[in-house]
Structure 1
Amino acid sequence: MRIEDFSPAQQANVVRAEKGYQAFTPPPLPPAVALAPSLIRQLSTADRAVGELAGLGRSLPSPELFGRALVRREAVLSSRIEGTVASLSDVAMYEAERPAKPAGDVQEVFNYMSAMDHLLDEDRRLPLSLPLLREAHQILMTGVRGDHATPGEFRRSQNWIGPPGSTISTARYVPPPPELLWSPLDAFEKYLHAEGELPPLLAIAAAHCQFEAIHPFIDGNGRIGRLLAVLLLVEWGLLPAPLLDLSSYIEPRRDRYYEGLLRVSTEGDWHGWFEFFLEVIERQARDSLARAVRLDTLRSDLRARVATARSSGLLAVLVDELFRAPVISINIAKAALGVTHRAATANVEKLVAAGILVEVTRGRQRFFAAPEVLDVMSGG
């Protein structure tokens, strides 16, 4: 890392590690940044979009169904930013099949969903804290590439950010050395519980950026940082459920995303980072709002298709299950309905006859996909 790549003001935060190399230690939050009129207008637009999404989320008959759909989408795209290649259909199939042998990229996405579930569990053991993020990291990184990188533990060695083949001296960015890691981490945790000097959306933007600058894990920092942003939206009461999939907007703009994060460290460009983050929030709140409406409309349509004078309420229950798990097996249907294997099979076959499910059997096991549900979940 070259100190000349940092502005004179930011060079004050460049430190020399015990082993002699230079690294950057971000100053504590909140940043001293003036809110320009243009940023205030953008903040108002983003706040309004989030408020509309929250209002819809609270009015939906089953918000947890749509929250689960968007968590699955966020998991796919957040992992894709880090180079993972898996589709939403792959993940849905993996959830239904649960193979004994981990399935590479799909396992990574599944771990992301499990980490999100853990963070948002109302009965979780820990409050919002560094130990909670460590638990999420352990879930995220266990059994996948990177599981050598001490899942659930803050790093005890140096990492850095740069193009392939870069070294610690040629890297674009070197986060705090391990012997100085606890001071910025402690300040970061205190910030999460401090009385807010920044409006909530900007406070979340600052927290995400600061976490990435500290880079406390050997691997998985980007995904934990994005999980943290979604967690704070729910934890701080801005959304009733994880209805915002930030990575859908970030993934095709990853260069702007990484450059914006880096410029905060090298130039102190908080204004530029806030502009980008609010753009992500506003666009994705609008997208999630439209997607939730489409999912709710589709749910009503599918339930109407199976609602006849002679049909039982079990078919409607099974339709709802498809929004939680768009690929199912007979055993999944059996558990969801609380019926025998024979009755579950009969109900699944009724949805096949209605064109709602399509059989996608693998080997000796029968699986059934809901293509219309998958299409709304994964469509652009």
Structure 2
Amino acid sequence: MPTPSAASIPIEAVSREPYDWKPQAPEMHSRAEVLRQTGPYDATVTALILDWNPRIPGDISANVEDATRELVVFDKHAKSRLGTDDPALGPMAAILLRTESASSSQIEQLTTSAKQLALAEIDEGDKANALTVIGNVRAMEAALRLSDDISEDSILAMHKALMLHQRGFEEDAGRYRSEQVWIGPGEAGPRLAEFVAPHHDRIPGAVADLVGFVKRQDISVLVQVAVAHAQFETIHPFPDGNGRTGRALAQSILRNKGLVGSTAVPISAGLLVDTERYFAALTAFRSGDAEPIVSEFASASRIAATTGTQLVDDLVAQLEDSRQKLKGLRSDAAAWRILPALVGQPAVNTKYLMSTLGLGEMGALRALDTLTDRGVLTESTGKSRNRVWQHRGIFEVLDGYAEKIRRMSVR
């Protein structure tokens, strides 16, 4: 473990405080496990970061500044490709947010396809992981919606939006944990765990300190995002969903500081490239060195800007191709209203079009028939009822993006 004096970006390391543990349900475990998990253990105590004075070497500072510029360029590119008044900007933002949510969930081994996710959005399909990832989409949406004022309440709202969609955790949604949690070995207790989170009594004070740090205006935004995220993961304030909420918080800070404004930035895709390095960076942060997590977020930002730019361009190309297929169609046809929505929701049914675009059922069906006849959509179910139409080109783009990230990943 690095010491603060040897750290590239020194930050006060966590400390420990002793507690005693007695397995709460000993009948559920072997006598040997109960014996191992009975006795003293040390819980983490987070260091306060509100008044942290970062000392960042010149080369790392330059790296952060370069990564920041690339994010700004990406954000401007997303706007310029569509134009601020283009009706597809909202759907484009939606699909990038959903892509970020899927990558964030994949870090937690929650994997789903773009198609499964789109089907879950219109209440079709029954993939449990897709429904769970939808919760992460809602958390990201809350993170951006509430970014004007990052507070304890907004963090709780992000978590609530996340966990309401995860079966078995509905009662925990938007509530701090009320018991000890840990990561690593030990089913009956924390005594052998790799990381023991702070005692639950310390959560409110630690979160208040974190929120105060986020409100500071004198720190480089990417440094602030990286350190706030690492601190949040160390506090580990919830029974479940801490990683996904913490990455949603990162999006909220980026928006709050005005670094990006058009959409969610797919930073989690960059973190997904090497999850072992990401988790090691969190460990180094707790040991007193913020450099690995700062560098990790700088690297992830570069990957997000590069791959995100290509994703935007590929989606815009699909949109333009579909527009060409609709040439000659009268300008007030409902198919034109549906087209930009397909960028954000490439699988649709009549119920979705009726609720989001205000179309009548027959009007929606006629428009879908037109889009199908013109080769824009494909009816994918073959049913006479509960039919679903999909834009295969957009799904190919999204699947290609996911495959690119997989190829970049360290296995």
The TM-score, its normalising length taken from structure 2, stands at 0.82
Paired residues of 1:13 and 1:26 also in contact (CA < 8 A) = yes
Paired residues of 1:212 and 1:225 also in contact (CA < 8 A) = yes
Matched residue, 1:317: 337
Distance 1:158 1:201 in 2: 31
Matched residue, 1:264: 285
Distance 1:256 1:31 in 2: 24
Cα deviation, residue 251, structure 1: 2.3
* 2:39 matches 1:13: no
Matching residue's letter, 2:61: I
Cα deviation, residue 362, structure 1: 7.1
Distance 1:310 1:149 in 2: 51
Distance 1:156 1:12 in 2: 21
Paired residues of 2:14 and 2:46 also in contact (CA < 8 A) = no
Cα deviation, residue 39, structure 1: 0.8
Paired residues of 2:342 and 2:391 also in contact (CA < 8 A) = yes
Paired residues of 1:243 and 1:288 also in contact (CA < 8 A) = no
Cα-to-partner distance string for 1:60-114 (whole Å, 9 max, x where unaligned):
2343221101111122221122122321110101112357xx7521111111112
Matching residue's letter, 2:256: E
Matched residue, 1:305: 325
Gaps of 5+ in 1: none
* 2:97 matches 1:71: yes
Matched residue, 1:341: 361
Matching residue's letter, 2:143: L
Gaps of 5+ in 2: 6-11, 22-39, 405-411
Distance 1:337 1:148 in 2: 30
When residues 129 and 18 of structure 1 are mapped into structure 2, their CA distance, relative to the original with a 3 A threshold, is farther
When residues 139 and 335 of structure 1 are mapped into structure 2, their CA distance, relative to the original with a 3 A threshold, is closer
When residues 310 and 129 of structure 1 are mapped into structure 2, their CA distance, relative to the original with a 3 A threshold, is closer
Matched residue, 2:106: 80
Distance 1:55 1:11 in 2: 38
Query: After superposition, where does 1:1-380 map in structure 2 within 5 Å?
Result: 7=3, 13-17=15-19, 20-29=40-49, 31-59=52-80, 60=82, 61=86, 62-97=88-123, 103-121=127-145, 127-145=149-167, 147=169, 150-163=172-185, 165=187, 167-196=189-218, 198-266=219-287, 268-308=288-328, 310=330, 312-361=332-381, 364-379=385-400, 380=404
Paired residues of 1:17 and 1:177 also in contact (CA < 8 A) = no
Cα deviation, residue 180, structure 1: 2.4
When residues 130 and 98 of structure 1 are mapped into structure 2, their CA distance, relative to the original with a 3 A threshold, is farther
Paired residues of 1:230 and 1:242 also in contact (CA < 8 A) = no
- Paired residues, number: 370
Cα-to-partner distance string for 1:207-241 (whole Å, 9 max, x where unaligned):
10110011111111000000011111112111113
Distance 1:117 1:246 in 2: 15
Distance 1:144 1:356 in 2: 34
When residues 169 and 336 of structure 1 are mapped into structure 2, their CA distance, relative to the original with a 3 A threshold, is closer
Paired residues of 1:25 and 1:184 also in contact (CA < 8 A) = no
Distance 2:97 2:200 in 1: 32
The TM-score, its normalising length taken from structure 1, stands at 0.89
Distance 1:163 1:138 in 2: 28
What do you get for the CA RMSD once the two structures are aligned? 2.5
Identify which range, 172-181 or 6-15, moves more after superposition. 6-15
Cα deviation, residue 260, structure 1: 0.7
Cα deviation, residue 326, structure 1: 0.7
Matching residue's letter, 2:200: P
Paired residues of 1:150 and 1:218 also in contact (CA < 8 A) = yes
When residues 195 and 335 of structure 1 are mapped into structure 2, their CA distance, relative to the original with a 3 A threshold, is closer
Partner SS for 1:207: helix
Partner SS for 1:272: helix
